[in-house]
Structure 1
């Protein structure tokens, strides 16, 4: 019997919960900022000036599909590997609650990864190489990396940094020139992943302090990109200020009082605010209007976050 045909509405919701739609939207923002940094963001300026640019959007569409599969597959396998642990700590999650079998969840994850790799092949050889690397890096994190206090945050950061470079690969030659941009999400995600380690049982103050330092470095890096001639720091500044106002208070609270509730709130805000970070960098490379276009993803992600878990 066809698995899809046999699903009822509650099970469909379980599959969506596994994929964490709000998080996937943040991955789209990575692609948009990478696309901008490659110089391809100019097609949006051309569009606003009434110039035909349909062909320029084709690689972007494939890359957005690729990142949807990569992030979706990675987050699904996170629950697959955590099935026994979730049975004890998060029994309401789709797999331990019985709404989705572990086997079907693994099948969904494999399908999503396959879609991602196929989509990347439609752009460039470098794109599919990066997509395959992200696939293995995500599986490494899900199975082993997340259990390590240092390697785990670094592993997840590399996944998100590589996702940004996937956006840059719309113009493969630019990846070599913009590789340093991957370091920013590496540090940002490392901060979130580090502090998230205490979201179930509580964390340590020192972890929260380290996370705060990493966030401060990220904010400094976003503004320091202004040393590059092609980057307009004044366009990035409003978005960077919004990022600081949104993220810092929650991380400070979690560092002062590392209880599960405050940590989960900091993680949720941090994950969704990835879109603001991406909007900051995108605005610096392509202009205020492009930054606002990326920022539009934030209310979309927040809407999904009200319906589906983020952490």
Structure 2
């Protein structure tokens, strides 16, 4: 099972759980969502969608990985391309089916996420600005998937999908230099996008009816402490090693970002609930590849 788990990137799937919980916090708030079976179905859905997407990413990258990452499961011969394809599609089916069990809005969003993820895997990541936008939309729609626990409210908050869109677009831009290093220009752009995301979440706390400005600021500060130092080190020394570290922290810090969104929308306790996913993601991130 180990090669298949490596393909699925368990630490990243945990960050996808944080998207769902943050989305649910935005539309439902507080503890009321924990008694909702639909929330757990959406967690299953995002696990299938994210897992399927990253498995198919390695499927499409098999030839390139023979050169750049020969230790990965497919180029090393631990998993065949056919097995990876079957696994990826099967995970998609699980994710989409679970989402349709919630409601048609959730199911439709799951289909959109699967399409966006596959487009990114097959073509989007090779296209300059389109690739980062493509991956950002995957995360943005995953946040909407969490909101779809209450579909009647989702359309009042749809614009919040742009927070993860901007953040993931920044990380995806940085990741272009994971193998051979980078120039400083995309790193400065990423820093600018990071600051936009930080400001947007703080503003969300300011505007929230949950009186959560203080909780929002605490989590936003924590988020900034996580993501800015590794990026600063990469800007100072834009080597592949520094960039890989910045990308890894950026991906795992999605949990902190979602905790900040949850705290801004529903208060301190719900932010802490989302943040509790962080140690599990760090632990699995030590055991399995993240990037």
Alignment partner for residue 98 of structure 1, among 49, 63, 77?
A: 77
Aligned partner of 1:159 in structure 2 is 138
From the superposition, tell whether residues 291 and 227 of structure 1 become closer, same or farther in structure 2 (CA, over 3 Å).
closer
Task: Specify the SS of the correspondent of 1:97.
Answer: coil
Distance 2:126 2:213 in 1: 38
Q: Distance in 1 between matches of 2:251 and 2:81?
A: 26
Q: Give me the TM-score of the superposition, normalised by structure 1.
A: 0.91
Instruction: Show the counterpart of 2:53.
Output: 74
1:31-82 Cα deviation digits (max 9, x unpaired): 00001111153416xxxxxxxx74x2x0001000000000000000000000
- Once the 2 structures are TM-superposed, how far is the Cα of residue 230 of structure 1 from its aligned partner? 2.3
Structure 2 partner of 1:120? 99
Give the superposition deviation at 1:229.
3.9
Kindly report which structure 2 residues correspond to 1:30-41, keeping only aligned pairs within 5 A, or say none. 30-41=19-30
Separation in structure 2 between the aligned mates of residue 250 and residue 211 of structure 1, nearest angstrom:
12
Q: Is the 8 A contact 2:92 2:114 kept in 1?
A: yes
Q: Quote the residue 2:110 is aligned against.
A: 131
SS of 1:243 mapped into structure 2: helix
Kindly name which structure, 1 or 2, has the bigger radius of gyration based on alpha carbons: 1
CA contact (8 A) 1:42 1:286 kept: no
CA–CA distance in structure 2, aligned partners of residues 17 and 226 of structure 1: 37
Normalised by the size of structure 2, how large is the TM-score?
0.97
**In the alignment, what sits opposite 2:190?**
211
Deviations 1:273-301 (A, max 9, x none): 00000000101111111111100100000
Separation of aligned partners in 2, 1:241 and 1:228: 18
The answer on 1:196 being equivalent to 2:175 is yes
Q: Deviations over 1:104-140 (max 9, x none)?
A: 0000000000000100011111100100000000000
Q: Which residue of 2 aligns with 1:179?
A: 158
Report deviation, 1:143.
0.5
Gaps of 5+ in 2: none
Match of 1:279, SS state, is helix
- The alpha carbon displacement at 1:100 in A equals 0.5
Partner of 1:8: none
Runs of 4+ in 1 over 3 A off after TM superposition: none
CA contact (8 A) 1:207 1:255 kept: no
Between the aligned partners of 1:191 and 1:229, the Cα distance in structure 2 is 26
SS in 2 for 1:136: helix
Gaps of 5+ in 1: 1-11, 45-52
For residues 136-285 of structure 1, the aligned pairs below 5 Å read 136-231=115-210, 232-285=212-265
Partner Cα distance (2:237, 2:108) in 1:
42
RMSD (CA atoms) = 1.1
Deviations 1:207-254 (A, max 9, x none): 000000000100000001134242522111111111111110111111
- 1:20–1:309 CA contact under 8 A, matched in 2: yes
